[in-house]
Every structure is written in structure tokens, then in C-alpha cells.
Amino acid sequence: MANLNAVISQLHERIESDHFIIVFGNRNAVSGAGLGFRGVRDRRLVLIYVDALERLYDALTRLARRRPPAVGDTGKTVVYVFDSSDVPPFFGSPFTDVDPEGVPYIGLQARSNDPTIEAAFQRARADATHEATHVFNFRERHPHDPYTSSWVWFDEGTAVFLERYVFAGNPDTLRYAMNWVDRPDVSLDDWDFRYESGWFVRVTKREKRACGKCSRIAMPELAPRIVEKGLASDAVVIDTVVAKYGDHLPLYRQQAILEREAGVEISRATLDGWVMRVGELLQPAVAVMHQDLLRASYLQADETTVPVQMHDKRGADHQAYLWQYGKPGGETVFEFQLGRGRESPKKFLGEWEGILQTDGYQAYDNIGGPQMVHVGCWAHARRKFVDAVKVNPQDAGAINMVTRMDALFLVDRQARHEQLSADERLALRREHADSWVTEIHDECLKLRAVVLPKSTLGQAVTYTLNMWPKLRRCFDYAEVELSNNLAENSMRPVALGRKNWLHVGSAQSGPKVAAILSVVESCRRLDVPVKEYLLAVLPGMARRKLSEVALLTPARWAASRN
């Protein structure tokens, strides 16, 4: 405790609020220098911390009907905040402690080697939010606590419950917070009680009022819901959808988990009804995303199989397809089709006249408007030669071809490392990659004359030469990527899900599934929290005008928040 008191004696800054006095040491946010020890990085952290403590005070006073202990003549609780790395390792970090007079100390984690002030501030903000839920414990000290000077923390369940209740609008709460629920029916005063995750019933009471003059009865409307008149909350419905299409968890497993963990029996048909309702509500927003894509100048496309139940008594699934169109760095749209013919991309793109990047599948030929430019994927060409190397690891021709293509991607990697613009990247490609492109073409012509056409190497050469005009165009346009890998990466969740939820339930469900996948994948691409997005836009979606729906795509919703 001597070292702890030595640090306390050096604290010189203070901020007062309604119920607290925060005493702290301020230090340089870049160098970490302070008054002989590492105090908090930034006064902004303390201001946020004070605000968090005040909200915690109000919430706990309301819930527990008890007031925090007052210290000093002011009647305000004094809190000391500092970096816990300056005290003996015995205490750990972060920690909470009190002196013999009951004054709390709070050790906040601080990292002096952070490269920027903002990164350190965000970390400290998250720690402050976490600490605020543990410090003011209104229970008595545990009778068997060997360290009589230590306050006993809230158990983790209660702490997370408080974070959920008090800091609901704070994005820096613990990542576990959303797994806990408000239990207002249980007192905070019971020492051994733990707030456990579970299901509860929320009763909404609407007051009816009658007019004394006209006898007219009025009652406030219910808040809009995803499933009107359904028993499940919007959060439960969204959790089900994201678990299936974001985490690849089929409904029968979710049904078993709910029954095992929460004792709640919900039929698979009910869960499926929730999912289909979400898909139905998202279809207008996805239609807007489709139109937004057609305004872009450059798109990538890919397709993959998805089994679908046809209910035609054949006993076998039909092999349908999910076609995916996306803008690199932007949204992506999935389209469900029963076949793999040219009709699907031709209908989706219409007379679009931008740059389309795909693999070598012929269904993408002769579609779009007359000015549409079709470019190829160098990753697919390289993959063919990699397969040839796998067949014959000593094949110098295949190995050299893979090396040359790697050189092309190395140029783009250098551009990303230097954070070059699209035009600067194009100039770098023309400076360093043009010679490699010419050499690749010349070597393919030589190999075609000496290898068997049906061999793995022969097929790689044939593919590359057949795609050559499209591959060469990658170096004519600044915004075009060398590969279609972004589109393929967006297909991976479908492949993972296909192994778990096996198939789409019907042909009529396919477009709804495609709408959900479009939103989930677009949120992933844009780094938008998908549950938060769905919870914000889905309730009342059916009542919105098309002009309102146009503002609720993941990209526009994220832009409006920023």
C-alpha cells in the first residue's frame, strides 16, 4: 500500500460532478511522461468516465434504492484514477481497492506505446466503461474476505447487466454485454445472486382513455415490430437470422440450443417463419441496392450452387444458383435463380455499360449494353498453372508461369503498401508489369506448341490464351483489380452455410434468402454491425414509403450515422 499511496500523493488534477470528485494525474498522450508516473492520457477520458459514473449512480440508485457512500465534507464520493502499472503487481490490472477510510481507488489500464492518441483514447475509454460497472459495490464486504481493505467487485454477470442497462448507447461496452438481459424482478441486494442470461416476458401496458363528451376511446399504438403480433422480440428474431446466415447455424441446432440452454421450446417452423419475414422485409432495400450497383462504373460477379427443395415428390434437391454482383469496397447483391443460364446476368445488368470482371464462364459473354467492357481474372489463370505444378512439381514451364503471374500481384501489393491512388497504381503497373504480361503471353504461345492440350498444363495454357483479351484489359483501366477474389470471398459464407443448413426450403424462399445474404455480406464488407443495422431498419419497414426505404441500405444507413 506504501507504493500505492506514493502514487496517490502525486495526483494533482481534479474534476467535480454532482456526486463524485475525480482526482487524477494527467500525462502526455504521446510520450507517456507525467509527474513521475503514468497518469491518464487525456482529460477527455476523465470527462467520459465522470459521465459514466453519474449514469451508473442514477441507475443503481433507481434499481437498488440505495445511495453510494459519501466521503468528506462535500458529501461526494472521491475517486482516484491512475495507471495501475505504477503500483505493485500484487494488485493486478485493472483493479479496485479502498483505503481504511473507505475511499475507492481505480486502476485504469494505460499503454504508453500506442502509436496515436486516438487509439490510446479509445482503449482507455473502453476500460473506463468497464471499470465504472465494478467500482461502487453497494453490498457489504464478504465476511470471509482475507483482505479486509479490499472491496468485493460485482460478480461478472451483474457487471455486464449494468453495462447493458446503463451504457446501452455506448459502443465500447464489453462484447459480452448483449448476451445478458435486464432482470428488474430480482433485487440487487442478494449477495449470492448472479444475473444469468435467459428469456423473460416483457409486458406492454397501453392505457385506454375515453372522451367524456363524445365517448370516443383512444389508446396509443404499439411500437412497430418485425413480426407483428408475434411473441418474440425484434432482437430474438434478428439473432436467429444472423446466427443462420452470418454464423452458419441451421435452425434445428438453434432450436436445440434454445431448449437446452433456456428451456424454451420453439418449433422449427416458427423460426423459419421469422427468417422468411426478415427476408421479405429486406427485399425492397435490396432492390435499391441493385439500382445503386447499376450506377457504378465497375462491378465484379460470381455464382455458386445452392440446393433447393422443389416439393415435386422426386425426393431430390434441385441445383439452383446464387449469382452475386458487387462493387469492390461497396455493397453486394445476391440473386437467386433456378438455372445457370445467361438470362440471369442479362436480366440483372440490363443495358449497363460499365466494366464487369468475372471468371471465364461463358454466361457472362454478350450481356449488358453495347459499351460494356468485360475483363478477366488473373487469379483464375494463375490457379490453373498452380494445379499443373501440383501434378508435376518438376515442371519448369508451369513453375515459371506461376512466378511471372506472382510478379503481377507483387506490383499491386506494392501499390497497396504505398497507399497509391487508382491512377498511380495504373502507372506503376505500366512501369513494372507490362513486360511481365508480354512475357506471359509469349511463353503461353510457346507452351501450346509443345504440351498436350488435355494435360493440366495444356488446359492452363488454353484457358489463359482464350481469356487473353479480357486479362489484358485489366491493365487498361485504373480501377480494375487483377483478380475477382473479392467476389469469391463473398461466396465463402454461402459455401459454409450450404454445409450446415444444407438447402433452401423452396423456390419461393430463394429470393428472400438472397435478400438476407445481400444485407449480411454488405454489412461485412462495409464493417457495419449487422444486428444493429437490422434492429434499426426492420421494425416498421413494411409501412415505409419507397423514398424512405432508399435511405436504409447498409451503405446509406452507415453514412447517416457518421
Could you report the per-residue pLDDT of 461-491, keeping only the tens digit for each? 999 999 999 999 999 999 999 999 999 999 9
Judge whether 214 lies within some domain: no
User: What are the tens digits of pLDDT across the range 506-540?
Assistant: 889 999 999 999 999 999 999 999 999 999 999 99
- Strands 95-98, 104-108: pairing kind: antiparallel
| Sequence-ordered strand ranges (E) for 344-501 | 355-357, 373-375
SS3 content of the chain, % helix, strand, coil (to 5): 45, 10, 40
Query: What pLDDT was estimated at residue 105?
Result: 58
Judge whether 315 lies within some domain: yes
- Strands 20-24, 77-83: pairing kind: parallel
Do residues 342 and 307 both lie within one domain?
A: yes
User: What are the tens digits of pLDDT across the range 260-317?
Assistant: 877 788 999 999 999 999 999 999 999 999 999 999 999 999 999 999 988 877 778 8
Residue 93 is classified by DSSP as: S
pLDDT confidence tier of residue 502, bands split at 50, 70 and 90:
confident
pTM: 0.65
Query: What pLDDT was estimated at residue 137?
Result: 38
Range of the domain at 16: 2-179
Do residues 521 and 435 both lie within one domain?
A: no
Structural domains in the chain (count): 4
Do residues 67 and 96 both lie within one domain?
A: yes
pLDDT at residue 457 is higher than 90: yes
Residues ≥6 apart with Cβ < 8 Å to 404: 436, 439, 440, 443
Do residues 300 and 340 both lie within one domain?
A: yes
Q: What phi, psi does 285 have (nearest 5°)? A: -65, -40
Residue 94: is the preceding peptide bond cis (ω within 30°)? yes
Judge whether 491 lies within some domain: no
Residue 550's closest CA among 311, 223, 202, 290?
290
pLDDT confidence tier of residue 30, bands split at 50, 70 and 90:
low
pLDDT confidence tier of residue 61, bands split at 50, 70 and 90:
low
Do residues 28 and 135 both lie within one domain?
A: yes
Last residue of a domain, one of 248, 276, 304: 276
Contact 543, 310 (CB under 8 A): no
Query: What pLDDT was estimated at residue 17?
Result: 86
Residue 487's closest CA among 368, 336, 372, 377?
377
Contact 485, 233 (CB under 8 A): no
> When comparing pLDDT for 6 and 519, which is higher?
519
Do residues 126 and 8 both lie within one domain?
A: yes
Mean pLDDT of the chain: 77
pLDDT confidence tier of residue 213, bands split at 50, 70 and 90:
confident
Question: Which residue in the block uniquely carries the three cell numbers 477527455?
Answer: 44
Report the alpha-carbon distance of residue 61 to residue 83 in Å, rounded.
29
Query: What pLDDT was estimated at residue 59?
Result: 58
Do residues 24 and 149 both lie within one domain?
A: yes
pLDDT at residue 170 is higher than 60: no
Contact 409, 422 (CB under 8 A): no
Do residues 130 and 48 both lie within one domain?
A: yes
Contact 88, 7 (CB under 8 A): no
Last residue of a domain, one of 161, 179, 197: 179
- Strands 77-83, 104-108: pairing kind: parallel
